[in-house]
Structure 1
Amino acid sequence: MYAGNNCSHGNTTDPMTWQNYVFITINVVLCIFICSGNVLTIIAVLRTPVLRTVPNMYVTSLAVADFLAGAVIPLQILIFIPSVKYIINDIKYLCLFRHVTFFVSVSMSVASMVAIAFDRAVYIGYPLRYKQLATTKRTWMVIVCMWISSLVIGTMPLYYNNWKPCIECSIFRVLKMEYQVYIQTSLFVVSCILTACCYGNILRIARQQQRQILEQTAPQCSKPQLAQDLKLVKLFGLVFGVFFICYLPAIVSVTAGHLGVYVPQMVTNITVPILVLNSGMNFVVYAVKNKDFRRAFVKMICTKKAKLNLVGPTVVATVLNRSDNNVLKNELR
């Protein structure tokens, strides 16, 4: 027996429904998308010296956290398999571990995103002092502190929970209302405020620089600067907008569920993948939108293709040479 509880689950061989297969497929695709994208980001930073900068240390930390968020998706997939779902329900720490791994990775992803916004705000606001303020040692200290904080917050359900034998391992039954509403929701609100303040300050400084350009130069010289500011606004709007859109549905549904509003399981099955999707979109925003990362990706892909192209003709030439030698030997005989 996998559990010491005499729980009655009814028919433990419930058939798989089409909804189960749909959500399993969605989560598998999401897992591949998130893990592959963030692995590319990590490898690009490790193999490309020009990418080993202080800002990219936060991007790499974010990529690691996002990779973990994608790597724990298989644990979420298990609940769509009826026989495995009952096992998870009956084993306390297996149930709690499923939630803890999710909250640790998500908390670190959010913390890294706020750190990136703060780092860029310092760079724009204090360009002459940035190298003195944002040293490699201080950056490592910040990243270590973020990981420790994420581990502390994410592992709270291990010792602060509502788990009891014979109950469903869902966030509304197992996790405390105070943890979900007061801690997780507060972190979401604080992260939104800090990120909005950082990017708002960046836009404010950009507008001040634009006014100075308009006052000191001819009007026709302001067009390139205006286009650059427009790109800046779009990028920052995309960063904050993707985060807000991905996290808001899950936060609203979880808060409503703990406050007594009935939330169908179907809603949770949809909002959680949307939340995790942010971990894949961070790769698109911070890596694909950056020209240095794009060059690193192209170099990695082209190098791999070049090796394949080199190996192909070499193998063919070797085979032909062996064939010619065999023919020559036969003729000599």
Structure 2
Amino acid sequence: MAWLIYTSLELVIAVACCLGNVLVVWAVCLTRTFRQPTFCFVASLAVADFLVGSVAVPLAVLVDGWVEIPFQACLAVSCVVLVLTQASVLSLLAIAVDRYLRVSIPLRYKEIASEKRSWAAVVLCWLISCLLGFTPLFGWHNGHSLSSPVLNSSHINCTFLAVISLPYMVYFNYLGCILLPLAAMTLLYALVFYSLRKRLRREDETSAVGGSKLRAFLIKEKRLACSLALVLLLFAACWMPLHLMNCVLLSTGPQGVPQIAFYTGILLSHANSAVNPVFYAFRIAKIREAYLEIWRRYVLCWRRQRNVSSSLWRSQPGEQNAGHQTKLNPLGHESGN
């Protein structure tokens, strides 16, 4: 029963991830904001979240002990989840760096953060994510506890922790690849908010009129920075419980964490990818406006066309019958109903 509830929730999360993040990428492309570095990285984050729903969640259900496959195949499947998590982290880091550059060097920002360099940064993020996520394939795994013939030929009951080393998850993945970037992002956003607050205070003191263009620009930047910082906070809140449980498992063993708590942590980490598109709709005006434009231009238009087509289809049988009756009237008059 517990497995059925877990699998059902994973299915709901997977569908929400796919639909929501397709909508985010569509919104970014529709408004052509992909030319702006920040939304270029938001699109990269949305792609990672989409792949969580379409790839990582099905694989998470698969590697829950329900299949027996070779050790190396199970290891490769488990590493895919690590790659997508790392891509999300590095996309968030790229967003934080972009916000910092936007505020600290506004005059040179457009020159440095060009569209070409932004997409190069996205490619670099994904390449680094693959390198860090597939590190267990190069030897840092649990296969050393198995004999060589078993490792090379035998099938194992595939679970994530059966192949992925807990020391790797805690010391390398959590402390090095997640906690360190989160600390860097926290520092960057602190500097962004400090700089914006300082410049707003200076603008209020020097400007006689409170509605200057510079002040409006700074307020807009502060709102966007707040929204993106909250995305980071949401990511940390959803992923930290699972990584903290890994730390407990490493120190106390399997008995240290109840199974239901561990599965709750997995669901929470996956739910982060489904919540992000909803969060964008409430916090980021450009994406919210693009959602509404998609709704008006495509969904409502499609519904109107469907209703018109349905009305025409329903009216055709009556017209055909009327024509048939007229043809059969021997007096040459139009026949009634």
| TM bracket (short chain) | 0.7 to 0.9
* Aligned residue in 2 for 1:254: 246
**Contact 1:59 1:286 survives alignment (8 Å):** no
**1:234 and 1:145 mapped to 2: Cα distance?**
26
* Aligned residue in 1 for 2:334: none
> Residues 327 and 22 from structure 1, CA distance in 2 versus in 1: closer, same or farther, beyond 3 angstroms?
same
**1:257-301: per-residue Cα shift (whole Å, max 9, x none)?**
123343333332111221222222332344552222122211212
* Aligned residue in 2 for 1:271: 265
> Residues 297 and 228 from structure 1, CA distance in 2 versus in 1: closer, same or farther, beyond 3 angstroms?
closer
Match of 2:257, SS state, is: coil
Aligned residues: 310
Match of 1:259, SS state, is: helix
**1:168 and 1:247 mapped to 2: Cα distance?**
26
* Aligned residue in 1 for 2:37: 54
**2:196 and 2:118 mapped to 1: Cα distance?**
25
**Contact 1:46 1:52 survives alignment (8 Å):** no
* Aligned residue in 2 for 1:19: 2
**1:53-89: per-residue Cα shift (whole Å, max 9, x none)?**
2221111111111111122201212355xxxx3533x
Structure 1 unpaired stretches of 5+: 1-17
Match of 1:87, SS state, is: strand
What does 1:28-107 correspond to in 2, within 5 Å?
28-71=11-54, 72-79=56-63, 85=65, 87-88=67-68, 90-107=69-86
Q: Does 1:328 align with 2:323?
A: yes
Look up the equivalent residue of 1:235 and give its one-letter code.
S
> Residues 287 and 54 from structure 1, CA distance in 2 versus in 1: closer, same or farther, beyond 3 angstroms?
farther
**Contact 2:17 2:273 survives alignment (8 Å):** yes
> Residues 131 and 233 from structure 1, CA distance in 2 versus in 1: closer, same or farther, beyond 3 angstroms?
closer
**1:47 and 1:126 mapped to 2: Cα distance?**
29
> Residues 296 and 235 from structure 1, CA distance in 2 versus in 1: closer, same or farther, beyond 3 angstroms?
closer
Structure 2 unpaired stretches of 5+: 329-337
What does 1:289-308 correspond to in 2, within 5 Å?
289-303=283-297, 304-308=299-303
Q: Does 1:210 align with 2:193?
A: no
**Segment drifting more, 28-37 vs 227-236:** 227-236
**Contact 1:34 1:66 survives alignment (8 Å):** yes
TM-score (ref. length: structure 2) = 0.82
Look up the equivalent residue of 2:3 and give its one-letter code.
N
> Residues 287 and 150 from structure 1, CA distance in 2 versus in 1: closer, same or farther, beyond 3 angstroms?
farther
- Report percent identity of matched pairs: 26
**1:269 and 1:94 mapped to 2: Cα distance?**
23
**2:156 and 2:259 mapped to 1: Cα distance?**
15
* Aligned residue in 2 for 1:283: 277
Q: Does 1:192 align with 2:171?
A: no
**1:11-40: per-residue Cα shift (whole Å, max 9, x none)?**
xxxxxxx11111111111111111111111
TM-superposed CA distance for 1:326, in Å, is 2.9
Look up the equivalent residue of 2:262 and give its one-letter code.
T
What does 1:59-208 correspond to in 2, within 5 Å?
59-71=42-54, 72-79=56-63, 85=65, 87-88=67-68, 90-160=69-139, 161-163=141-143, 164=146, 165=150, 169-185=158-174, 186-208=176-198
* Aligned residue in 2 for 1:4: none
**Segment drifting more, 160-169 vs 67-76:** 160-169
**Contact 1:31 1:73 survives alignment (8 Å):** yes
**2:189 and 2:177 mapped to 1: Cα distance?**
18
Look up the equivalent residue of 2:142 and give its one-letter code.
N
**2:275 and 2:185 mapped to 1: Cα distance?**
17
**Segment drifting more, 20-29 vs 229-238:** 229-238
Q: Does 1:312 align with 2:312?
A: no
Q: Is the radius of gyration larger for structure 1 or structure 2?
A: 2
**Segment drifting more, 142-151 vs 90-99:** 90-99
Give the aligned CA root-mean-square deviation in angstroms: 2.7
> Residues 108 and 232 from structure 1, CA distance in 2 versus in 1: closer, same or farther, beyond 3 angstroms?
closer
**Contact 1:109 1:279 survives alignment (8 Å):** no
**2:198 and 2:53 mapped to 1: Cα distance?**
41
**Contact 1:51 1:293 survives alignment (8 Å):** no
> Residues 193 and 259 from structure 1, CA distance in 2 versus in 1: closer, same or farther, beyond 3 angstroms?
same
